[in-house]
Amino acid sequence: MASKVTPISGFQEWLPTERIAEQYFLDTIREVFELHGFASVNTRSVESVERLSSQGEDADKEIYAVRRLAAPADEQAEPTLGLHFDMTVPFARYVLENAGKLTFPFRRYQIQQAWRGERPQRGRYREFIQADIDIVDAGELPAHYEAELLLVIADVFARLPVGDYTIHVNNRKICEGFYLGLGIDDVIGTLRIVDKLDKIGPQKVAELLVANGLTDEQAKQCLALAEINSPDGSFVERVRALGVEHPTLDEGLAHLESVIATAAEHAPGVAIADLRIARGLDYYTGTVYETMLERDPGYGSICSGGRYDSLATDGKRTYPGVGISIGVSRLLGLLIGEEGLTASRETPVAVLVAVNDEDSRAESTRIATALRSRGIATLVAPKAAKFGKQIQFADRRGIPFVWFPGAGEDGSDQVKDIRSGQQSAADRSSWTPPQADLRPSLVSPTTD
């Protein structure tokens, strides 16, 4: 009996042309990460629930638990394993387990799926791809890496059709020092509330801060700090003008000023100091990042991360790190899913080799083999139909060239560009399509 297929929300499944566009993004991201000296690692899908749930308020809401459906009675208690909801937590565990085999500072990239047990909504999925880079050192991590990650992301986005964007940068030590200077004891709780500014607005945030034990004046000062942003170092004077002093605040301001100065020199116009950025996970201790698309800032961050000093520690040694993650599925949910970005064809094939008749299929296969040996994606026609139908087969898939074995008057092979109709003699050992046709290209719905 046939069963009805019921869609499950929160999962991306692309059509072939869309999948090619996704692969283009993934290949570009990987290439740039490697250009900047990051090595690839892959971690398991599950971590202990204890490790996953220790990362802050948000983490407790996001864990998909894993256990066997047919587990015996003694395994029916609370599950001990969960699917990871980001790459940073499993990477920290990976560093601890392999510290003796890694060379520090260790630069890694990781492009994998993650899972969040939350209600799917625009730009947020139950299953999604993240592309992470992290730099981890043993004992101490120099602050200059916090600026370097911005430059890597700027390099990635310069090669992709993402449009105008801004990386908003803050330093958690600014917030921590400012709150301590105000006499606020619950720094983490205050950070979590301030992090809700974009979702609920300043009035609601002020009410929550007061409900959390702050005075009206303390809440007002917290909001005043969060309102400060600038594309240069002028934010320092504006913070100082609020009249709050603390050594941790001084340290955070100096670090953020350095990050913004480096970004301004090497990727002008990309970074902005934005003191409302907090990030909800507890493990961040220094610089934090969120990246907004200028044309749709309400979509939320498409690339986030920050510094963590104590996430990876075995009790004897600590491995501080800094990382940033591109939300690939989130980004493509907008570019592909909403704006219609796609690929020029549904297959990587550039050439279809026609089959004159089934007795000559072996020759068509030899031609395809020769072309593939030189890196040209080639397909042999599935049927020895009339040439018109074989051309139609190629056209429907966007394959630009059809190869006709022995079609020339002298028995030579011929290749036809089915878009222009131009046909000419071709040698399987030397013919190459134009570079633009060798691989599918991205096609924007606004492209003429």
Rounded Cα gap, residues 226 and 212, in angstroms: 18
Does the annotation flag 88 for ligand binding? yes
Please report, for residues 48, 83, 189, 246, the alpha-carbon distance to residue 53 in angstroms, rounded to integers and kept in the order given.
Answer: 9, 11, 17, 32
Does the annotation flag 289 for ligand binding? no
Rounded Cα gap, residues 284 and 191, in angstroms: 11
Evaluate whether 280 touches 151 at the Cβ level (below 8 Å): no
Does the annotation flag 283 for ligand binding? yes
Does the annotation flag 279 for ligand binding? yes
Does the annotation flag 130 for ligand binding? yes
* Ramachandran assignment for 421, one of left (phi > 0), alpha (psi -120 to 50 degrees), beta (any other): left
Does the annotation flag 435 for ligand binding? no
Tokens of 326: 């591109």
Rounded Cα gap, residues 26 and 5, in angstroms: 30
Does the annotation flag 284 for ligand binding? yes
Query: Annotated binding site for L-histidine, which residues?
Result: 86-88, 116, 130, 134, 279, 283-284
Residues annotated within the binding site are 86-88, 116, 130, 134, 279, 283-284
